[in-house]
Amino acid sequence: MAAMADEQINTPREAEVDVFVNAVGLLSTLQRTVKDLRRDLDIERQQRSDDHDLLTEMLHREIEGRSRGNDTITQLIESAEHQLTERCDSAARVLSMSDDKVADRVTAMESGLAQEQGALCQDRDQLRSDLAAATSKIQAGHAELHSSIQRVEGMALDRAQEWERLEAISQDTRAMVSSMSLTKASWKEGFAEG
């Protein structure tokens, strides 16, 4: 009879120990998971910072390129004005020549001016196209930066919510372990008194 009583007492005691060990293992696993999530969140934040810095640098480069394009247009206009002034001065000097020579010089000047005007128009159109492309890239960069920030913030929010959920589970597990520890201690006291 005594052996049977000891067997009945040891059985729930062993089951309680198994539950306690499993709870401790679960708590350790949850703690490692929370640690990993925190590390992943830090990595995501660093990646978001790196992406922001990279896109900001790209935008600055595009803005500088557009500024240089504007300076180039201004230089071309000033150069054209200077050339036209020289042509006018040359035309004034030609007026003192004979009619035939004047006609030849005027024809040559008109041809040269037409060629120069065509080249300047091509340069102007090319520069306008480059400016439009640079503006488009800047707008695309802004959109990409905004999208990247939203994506990373969403991922960070998901990580934070997952961390809060696991933290709550961890707290519940700690409470369960504490309760089982108190129960185990109560059983020990009861057995000791018995």
Confidence grade of residue 1 (pLDDT, cut at 50, 70, 90): very low
The answer, as to whether pTM is greater than 0.75, is: no
Residue 62: closest CA among 120, 141, 3: 141
Q: Which of 7-21, 80-94, 141-155, 168-182 has the lowest mean pLDDT?
A: 7-21
What is the SS3 assignment for 141? helix
**CB neighbour list of residue 95: distance below 8 Å, 6 or more residues apart:** 102
Over residues 1-15, the mean pLDDT reads 52
**Residue whose entry in the numeric block shows the structure tokens 């695309």:** 140
* Residue 6 pLDDT: 45
The answer to whether 124 touches 76, Cβ cutoff 8 Å, is: yes
Domains (range + CATH), the chain: 19-193 (1.10.287)
- Give pLDDT tens digits for 17-28: 777 777 777 777
Query: How many helices (H) and strands (E) in the chain?
Result: 2, 0
- Give pLDDT tens digits for 14-73: 777 777 777 777 777 777 887 888 888 888 888 877 877 787 787 777 777 777 766 777
Q: Which of 78-87, 112-121, 164-173 has the lowest mean pLDDT?
A: 78-87
**Residue whose entry in the numeric block shows the structure tokens 């005594």:** 2
